Amino acid sequence: MVDIKAEEIFKEFKEHSIAEFFKKNRQMLGYSGMVRSLVTIVHEYVTNSLDACEEAGILPDINVKIDEIGEYKYRINVTDNGPGIPKKYVGKALGTILAGTKFHRYMQQRGQQGIGAAGCLLFAQTTTGKPIHVKSSTDNKKAYTCDILIDTAKNQPIVTNINEFYSDNFRGLSVEGEFADIKYENSEHGVFEYLKRTALANPHCQINFIDPEGKSYLFVRAVEQMPQRPKPIQPHPLGLTTNDLLEFAHSSESRKISSFLIETFTRVTQNKVNELRELAPSVDLDKSPKEMTWVDAEELIKSIRKVKWIAPDATSVIPIGEDQIKIALKNILNPEYMSVVERKPKVFRGGIPFIVEAAVAYGGNAGRQTDQEVSGNILRFANRVPLLFDSGNCAITEAAKEIDWKRYNIDIETQPISIFVNVSSVYIPYSGVGKEAISKEDEIIEEIKLAIMEAARGVQNFIRGKEHVAFEVGRYKTIMRYAKQLSLNLSEITGENQDRILKELENIIVAHYPKAKLNEEEKNEKEKTTESNKNKEIEDSETAD
Amino acid sequence: MVDIKAEEIFKEFKEHSIAEFFKKNRQMLGYSGMVRSLVTIVHEYVTNSLDACEEAGILPDINVKIDEIGEYKYRINVTDNGPGIPKKYVGKALGTILAGTKFHRYMQQRGQQGIGAAGCLLFAQTTTGKPIHVKSSTDNKKAYTCDILIDTAKNQPIVTNINEFYSDNFRGLSVEGEFADIKYENSEHGVFEYLKRTALANPHCQINFIDPEGKSYLFVRAVEQMPQRPKPIQPHPLGLTTNDLLEFAHSSESRKISSFLIETFTRVTQNKVNELRELAPSVDLDKSPKEMTWVDAEELIKSIRKVKWIAPDATSVIPIGEDQIKIALKNILNPEYMSVVERKPKVFRGGIPFIVEAAVAYGGNAGRQTDQEVSGNILRFANRVPLLFDSGNCAITEAAKEIDWKRYNIDIETQPISIFVNVSSVYIPYSGVGKEAISKEDEIIEEIKLAIMEAARGVQNFIRGKEHVAFEVGRYKTIMRYAKQLSLNLSEITGENQDRILKELENIIVAHYPKAKLNEEEKNEKEKTTESNKNKEIEDSETAD
């Protein structure tokens, strides 16, 4: 038997950078499959643009342009009207993995990792060898352009071709890259759908999209009002682990543990500190937080769990809002009927606040509708960002699966229904680095279920009505078919005029099924309107739905 | 409208370490849910032990011990008889994320990331504040113990309490840590099942497991022979991207591109270089590889795809082997019948070799069997490592789902069936950092399907036979029930002795359903044996199945 010594084996020991890791495992960032890879690129840049605009208090205007420049090779440009990136930060912001302004802030944002944009660059660089090209201005006056690559061994940016100039009419960020091994597809998992859903959850933003065929689609801003700006919040004591508490304590400048607790966390008052003092007599709350030991922290956490706390501040989590969702659904899906629910803030893992919003929309452009068939779909969002992939791994899908839909007269397999769910939180527990699914935490699933069920209750009478009409329409049509034959037979027997008999019979049937008749008329009316709409679409085909 | 300037926003700009990232997002490493978190810890350490033993040519003897030391708090020890870790490397090997001997080697190993062990330490440290305690010797003579923590801000180990001593009888590695927020559960997703499946795919290893109740289970070594050792291989030209080729070229010491190609990649001969020279006349193959440009590399990759290549060297991928799987299945599941298939090596993404093995086992302890019901299960493995979680995200599950099981008389919902699949490769494309699922790449799914279908064909006649017998048994029992009444009636009519008539009737029925009678006898026989086995189990309850 060979017996190789450890010293021999460990000659190969090396350290690696996070950039090398993701270069080798790009599927973990969402770069698996050509269609998905393209969406991931657009997703990362658009998400960053939205976060930047909102942080600066600017209504987002985003342009996305995709050009095909070879086989499975595209040039992608995303331009926004945001605050721009100061020149000295641009390399790290777009070309270093795990660098950014978001990771350490405890507030609701779309991005939270500092991985996305650098991941895109890594993907561009490894598939086409090209840097990304950036143009930015932070003040409508001075602007610059530059190229950025990553030194993957060091996870550091290489910024070249810096060119400064004066620009009167541009403020914001424009990022352009060439990417290969990707594919544009107009499917449910494609960029068009991604942007449509982005518009759905962000009615305050305007998106102009030019697809590889040069067709332009405008997702018009539906509300002129900036969403309320979430603020960084203080953590709630119930959301802390022993380790968190200890780390906060050791980096605190407070003089005593007692004042540290009041100053660092939300809902901690002098009264609460007094309660803790009684519950954990072994911990000296008058010593410096820097002297806190693990045992102290453990004791405090135990005591914290025994105290009654007011729930975390709800103002830290900003949902889309019931009215805004209604406007957006009307704007994008134009359903026959919808029910929108905004739940109260809840907490998971003890102290992380989150809010679930749900809607069920029926008819119009809701659901999946092709010439062949109609079915429902689930539109998943986390902090207003559409989640198109990994649905099987997601708390939203799980919640929808656990619902007994029959109770609400809903059949997702056959009805034109869209189930809309948005989860907002200062911390979304994504199941993977690619952030395509929300981890299946029980408290989150339960709350999503309640939200969907509440929305479903809102549409169930409407759908029952629809189904009843459908049932009557069926009967009405069947009986009408027999009426003609019957009138002929009766005419032969009685010698009476057949048309008169038929007329009489029809009157009786219509009187018996009034809804069916009404429905038929509406349908004819609608078909006419649809026809004229179609013509309209052809006329201004430059404008999207 | 507020308009905050970019300079203001970027005051918050920071860089973060990968350790901080995973501290905040531990669910991405498999630490989500208390049961899963415990399995993840055992999985990481056992996987490292197996890799180390095999690399050193030692038949693995692994001891796993779990003690409950508080509410949702356990001490976990994993000890192996491997080569040990030299003292100067132990901190980085167990306490730095993305450091190790495996990441940069192009060979088949269980671990491939250098994340697992450091992730465990991070989890221990953030849930109990305790370091992990290590004991190791690399030569049966000098040994040491020490404690390790991670400085998460720097992703660097802190090694303390180093204690060196002489030890005559220990070589290997022992890692012990205290972990909280975890839970031991004896379920299909628990540690016992994980170790059982590890034994199933690694018949050359012996595992002794002591559960929190102090019960000891021994998974006995089934084969005394080391698996063939996979070797680091040269990449195959068809598996290269432009970027790969360029990076290999720039770090090459070869004098010319032509010799670089022959020396660096497998299956590249002088003849193939000549073909490439003709296909890509614009590339000067006589210049230094350090001078290769992206355009050169792109041109070469295009040409490489036009040349006919011999498939990559199959010896680089080592499957478990048909015989070994049979021994292991017999040892662990003891099925009534099984069919094992080892497929030929295939490639995905052009040049990454992989081998799929599949087995279908019926009866015995196969499938899920409780008092209430029986059903089938799928045992997923990647490089012999059991995959217990994220099944919905996995190529193996997908492949199994796409099969028309009825064709093979198989019903996974109701039959005691285990579908075993092991995928071996120098690079397994995991879908997440937690490595619990194989990314759904079409070529891999297709090959797994073929393997399972081949194995399923091997059992279909057996199952058809079983079902036929079951059908006959049903008929036989029904008719037997009527025989008694019939014999009474006949006896009354004819005056003949009822017992004689019944006997005659039974003879006729048995002659008509011989299999049913045989089956009944076998079953009685088996029940007797099972009874006596049960007694045996109670006697030596210290030994596992």
Q: Does B232 touch chain A (CB under 8 A)?
A: no
The pLDDT assigned to B521 comes to 64
Q: In chain B, whose CA is at the least distance from the CA of A298?
A: B128
Residues B351-356 have a mean pLDDT of 90
Distance separating alpha carbons of residues B423 and B399, to the nearest angstrom: 12
Annotate A216-268 with three-state secondary structure: EEEECCCCCCCCCCCCCCCCCHHHCCHHHHHHHHHCCCCCCHHHHHHHHCCCC
Annotate B361-400 with three-state secondary structure: EECCCCCEECCCCEECEEEEEECCEEECCCHHHCHHHHHH
CB B119 within 8 A of CB B165: no
Residues A68-91 have a mean pLDDT of 94
Name A143's bridge partners.
A137, A165
Q: How confident is the model at residue B208 (pLDDT cuts 50, 70, 90)?
A: very high
B16 and A114: CB-CB below 8 Å? Answer: yes
Distance separating alpha carbons of residues B268 and A90, to the nearest angstrom: 42
Where is pLDDT greater, at A175 or B33?
A175
A332: which DSSP letter? Answer: H
Per-residue CA distances from B362 to B329, B369, B375, B408, B467 (Å): 11, 12, 11, 13, 12
Residues B397-413 have a mean pLDDT of 92
B5 and A139: CB-CB below 8 Å? Answer: yes
A32 and B390: CB-CB below 8 Å? Answer: no
Q: How confident is the model at residue B214 (pLDDT cuts 50, 70, 90)?
A: very high
Where is pLDDT greater, at A100 or B455?
B455
In chain B, the largest separation of any two C-alpha atoms, in whole Å, equals 112
Residue B536 has pLDDT above 50, yes or no: no
CB A219 within 8 A of CB A196: yes
With contacts defined as CB-CB under 8 Å, which chain A residues touch B27?
429-431, 439
Mean confidence (pLDDT) of chain A? 87
Distance separating alpha carbons of residues B36 and B50, to the nearest angstrom: 21
Q: Which among B15, B92, B392 has the least Cβ separation from residue A393?
A: B392
Helix (H, G, I), strand (E, B) or coil at A79: strand
Secondary structure element (H or E) that encloses residue B515, with its range = helix B514-539
CB A427 within 8 A of CB A21: no
Q: Does B214 touch chain A (CB under 8 A)?
A: no
Q: How far does A423 lie from chain B, in Å, by closest CA?
A: 18
DSSP for A339-350 reads: EEEEPPPEEETT
With contacts defined as CB-CB under 8 Å, which chain A residues touch B58?
1, 3
Secondary structure element (H or E) that encloses residue A68, with its range = strand A61-70
Tell me which residue of A318, A316, A350 sits closest to A236, measured CA to CA: A350
Q: Which residues contact A171 (CB under 8 A, 6 or more apart)?
A: A81, A82, A83, A84, A137, A138, A139, A140
What type of residue sits at position A475? R
Window 130-159 of A: residues touching B by CB (8 A cutoff) are 130, 138-139
Name B153's bridge partners.
none
Please state whether A350 falls in left (phi above 0), alpha (psi between -120 and 50) or beta.
left
Residues A323-337 have a mean pLDDT of 92
Q: Which residues contact B73 (CB under 8 A, 6 or more apart)?
A: B128, B178, B179, B180, B182
Residues A372-383 have a mean pLDDT of 92
The pLDDT assigned to A10 comes to 76
Q: Does A5 touch chain B (CB under 8 A)?
A: yes
Digit-coded pLDDT (tens) for A138-153: 988 899 999 999 999 8
Distance separating alpha carbons of residues B33 and B52, to the nearest angstrom: 29
Residue A63 has pLDDT above 80, yes or no: yes
Q: Which residues contact B71 (CB under 8 A, 6 or more apart)?
A: none
With contacts defined as CB-CB under 8 Å, which chain A residues touch B441?
32
Count of other CB atoms within 10 angstroms of residue B356: 28
Tell me which residue of B540, B538, B545, B532 sits closest to B364, measured CA to CA: B545
Digit-coded pLDDT (tens) for A194-241: 999 999 999 999 999 999 999 999 999 999 988 888 877 888 898 888
The pLDDT assigned to B540 comes to 37
Digit-coded pLDDT (tens) for A24-46: 888 888 888 899 999 999 999 99
Q: Residue A111 class from Cβ within 10 Å (0-12 exposed, 13-18 middle, 19+ buried)?
A: buried
The pLDDT assigned to B522 comes to 62
Distance separating alpha carbons of residues A437 and B460, to the nearest angstrom: 39
The pLDDT assigned to B61 comes to 97
Backbone angles phi, psi at A529, to 5 degrees: -60, -45
Q: Where are the beta strands (DSSP E) in B220-373?
A: 337-342, 346-348, 352-362, 368-369
Q: Residue B344 class from Cβ within 10 Å (0-12 exposed, 13-18 middle, 19+ buried)?
A: exposed
Q: How far does A427 lie from chain B, in Å, by closest CA?
A: 10
Q: Which residues contact B471 (CB under 8 A, 6 or more apart)?
A: none
Residues B73-79 have a mean pLDDT of 97
Residue A2 has pLDDT above 60, yes or no: no
Q: Does B1 touch chain A (CB under 8 A)?
A: yes
Residue B228 has pLDDT above 50, yes or no: yes
B28 and A297: CB-CB below 8 Å? Answer: no
Q: Which ipTM score applies to this complex?
A: 0.76
Q: In chain B, whose CA is at the least distance from the CA of A85?
A: B6
Residues A415-430 have a mean pLDDT of 93
Q: How confident is the model at residue B3 (pLDDT cuts 50, 70, 90)?
A: low
Where is pLDDT greater, at A494 or A185?
A185
The pLDDT assigned to B497 comes to 84
Residue B526 has pLDDT above 70, yes or no: no
Q: Which residues contact A424 (CB under 8 A, 6 or more apart)?
A: A108, A317, A318, A319, A320, A354, A355, A356, A357, A382, A383, A384
Distance separating alpha carbons of residues A147 and A95, to the nearest angstrom: 10
Count of other CB atoms within 10 angstroms of residue A502: 18
Q: Which residues contact B465 (CB under 8 A, 6 or more apart)?
A: none
Window 410-429 of A: residues touching B by CB (8 A cutoff) are 429
pTM of the prediction? Answer: 0.79
Q: Where are the beta strands (DSSP E) in B247-387?
A: 337-342, 346-348, 352-362, 368-369, 374-375, 377-382, 385-387
Q: Does A36 touch chain B (CB under 8 A)?
A: no
Distance separating alpha carbons of residues B168 and B142, to the nearest angstrom: 8
The pLDDT assigned to B502 comes to 83
Q: In chain B, whose CA is at the least distance from the CA of A131?
A: B294
Q: How far does B371 lie from chain A, in Å, by closest CA?
A: 26
Residue B360 has pLDDT above 70, yes or no: yes
Name A80's bridge partners.
A62, A173
Q: How confident is the model at residue B493 (pLDDT cuts 50, 70, 90)?
A: confident
The pLDDT assigned to A125 comes to 93
Q: In chain B, whose CA is at the least distance from the CA of A140?
A: B5
Distance separating alpha carbons of residues B313 and A20, to the nearest angstrom: 26
Q: Which among B125, B243, B433 has the least Cβ separation from residue A129?
A: B243
The pLDDT assigned to B524 comes to 62
Q: How far does A103 lie from chain B, in Å, by closest CA?
A: 8
Give percent of chain A with pLDDT exceeding 90. 56
Per-residue CA distances from A52 to A89, A145, A465 (Å): 14, 19, 46
Mutate one of B7, B10, B156, B430 to test the A interface: name it (highest A CB count within 10 A): B10
Residue B112 has pLDDT above 80, yes or no: no
Q: Does A70 touch chain B (CB under 8 A)?
A: no
Q: Which among B21, B55, B59 has the least Cβ separation from residue A98?
A: B21
Lowest mean pLDDT among B11-15, B221-225, B399-403: B11-15
With contacts defined as CB-CB under 8 Å, which chain A residues touch B56?
2-6, 9
Distance separating alpha carbons of residues B223 and B151, to the nearest angstrom: 43
In chain A, the largest separation of any two C-alpha atoms, in whole Å, equals 112
CB A119 within 8 A of CB A99: no
Lowest mean pLDDT among A67-76, A278-287, B61-70, B135-144: B135-144
Q: Which among B83, B92, B430 has the least Cβ separation from residue A5?
A: B83
A6 and B138: CB-CB below 8 Å? Answer: yes
B21 and A103: CB-CB below 8 Å? Answer: yes
Window 461-520 of B: residues touching A by CB (8 A cutoff) are none
At which residue do the structure tokens 């679930």 appear? Answer: A356
Q: Does A89 touch chain B (CB under 8 A)?
A: yes
What type of residue sits at position B343? R
Tokens of A465: 């009505």
Helix (H, G, I), strand (E, B) or coil at B146: strand
At which residue do the structure tokens 């932070």 appear? Answer: A138
Name A137's bridge partners.
A143, A172
CB A72 within 8 A of CB A181: yes
The pLDDT assigned to A539 comes to 36
DSSP for B3-15 reads: ---HHHHHTT-EE
B243 and A127: CB-CB below 8 Å? Answer: yes
The pLDDT assigned to A543 comes to 37
Q: Which among A7, A18, A83 has the least Cβ separation from residue B5?
A: A83
Q: How far does B468 lie from chain A, in Å, by closest CA?
A: 37
Window 433-462 of B: residues touching A by CB (8 A cutoff) are 433, 439-441
With contacts defined as CB-CB under 8 Å, which chain B residues touch A52?
9
Residues A282-309 have a mean pLDDT of 94
